[in-house]
Amino acid sequence: MRAVVTGAAGFIGSHLVEALLAAGHEVLAVDVAGRRAADPAWWAHAAADHAARERAADHRTSRERVTDHRASRERGADDRDPRERGTDDRHPRERVTDHRASRERGTDDRDPRECLTGDGTGPELAADHRDELARAGVTVAECDLAVDDLAPLADSDVVLHLAGRPGVRDSGGPLTWRDNVTTTERLVEACAGRGTRLVLASSSSVYGSAARPCDEDDGTAPLSPYAKSKAAAEEIVRRGGCAGVILRYFSVYGPRQRPDMAFHRFIEAGLDGVPAPLFGDGGQSRSFTYVGDVVAATVRAAEIPLPHGTVLNVGSPMTVTVGDALDRIGRLLGTTPPTVSKDPAPGDVTRTWAGTERAARLLGWTAGTGLDDGLARQIAWHRERRRG
């Protein structure tokens, strides 16, 4: 089987490439990290997107913002963020350092320009993932799915579309629609009429908050711009001209997890002693699913010729609260990770809960990794990275 993986330098994508190779498949790994780092037009677009989200989160009136800026000038300084002045000439490592400082304050003010891979993974981890793939003999091809010619990608048996802009909290700008919807539409158009199948990585967030295990035939109720973009991408696949399958991933964790995700933050907090943000009271519950299990389901969805429009939940049937998961991390680390309380993120759901009967029936798949085992593996990865 000839497979294309988009978002191949990201958290899940890098694992998926390795698993496909191990299964004997031919793989083209595609990502956009290097292109974005060198593209002034993309950076300008990202700066505008970031500024729009900051303005939306800034409840001061325009007059109040101007007054505050004038006051800073009277103090002999221009204390605006460089991004607000229209330029940001900081070195990428300085931007990463600034983000680390924001983590120490218990906030996440990461500029989207620091999320350079197709799945939002930051530049340092993206480089690590590329190194991992290079050791497996894989070179990641540069391709911006929103603007480049995608016909070469459709010259395959299946496209596994994992690239996109993730995360509920940072999904208010136009780049979310560009990276999640426009890219999917262009891939579907490229694959149409060529016999190429498409497997779309979607999200449990399309369901909204769950009162019971979610069935794939349940209606969707997306609450955040991110969730709405994923629901729109699903609809494009359903109506498109190629055979498409939709996988709804549930709260994926494990080695190589993105730095903005909860378990990554909690583990780093426990190792560093620097508080991580805890959004809400910790009572939110999730179907936390180990990345190896998610990858196994995705490989099977690529190998099995499922009917067009098939939707499958890819998640653990067990729900665990964030507070319980934090306690488990503390026990495994031997120290309680410090946290700082934050208001719940707008659009975040109180519970995700995966119904998994369909995936078991059509794929012969269930999530087999227990939370403690999966967390132990992720903690080992964090410690290994620190050893260099």
Furthest-apart CA atoms within the chain: distance in Å = 68
Residues 289, 50: Cα–Cα separation, whole Å: 30
Run of H or E residues at 310: strand 310-314
Q: What are the C-alpha distances in Å from 31 to residues 109, 121, 129, 139, 190?
A: 24, 11, 11, 10, 17
Q: Which two tokens stand for residue 42?
A: 């993309």
Q: What are the C-alpha distances in Å from 316 to residues 7, 77, 166, 297?
A: 23, 52, 20, 12
Contact 357, 297 (CB under 8 A): no
Residues 361, 319: Cα–Cα separation, whole Å: 21
Residue among 76, 84, 28, 12 nearest 51 (CA): 84
Contact 229, 182 (CB under 8 A): no
Other beta carbons within 10 Å of 269? 26
Residue among 351, 215, 372 nearest 282 (CA): 351
Structure letter (DSSP) for residue 222: -
290 classed as catalytic = no
Query: Exactly one of 226, 249, 253, 290 is catalytic; which is it?
Result: 226
Contact 159, 198 (CB under 8 A): yes
What residue spans of 240-290 are helical by DSSP H? 262-272
Residue among 163, 159, 160 nearest 194 (CA): 159
Contact 278, 352 (CB under 8 A): no
Residues 96, 91: Cα–Cα separation, whole Å: 9
Q: Which two tokens stand for residue 358?
A: 């369909």
Residues 225, 354: Cα–Cα separation, whole Å: 21
Active centre residues (catalytic): 226
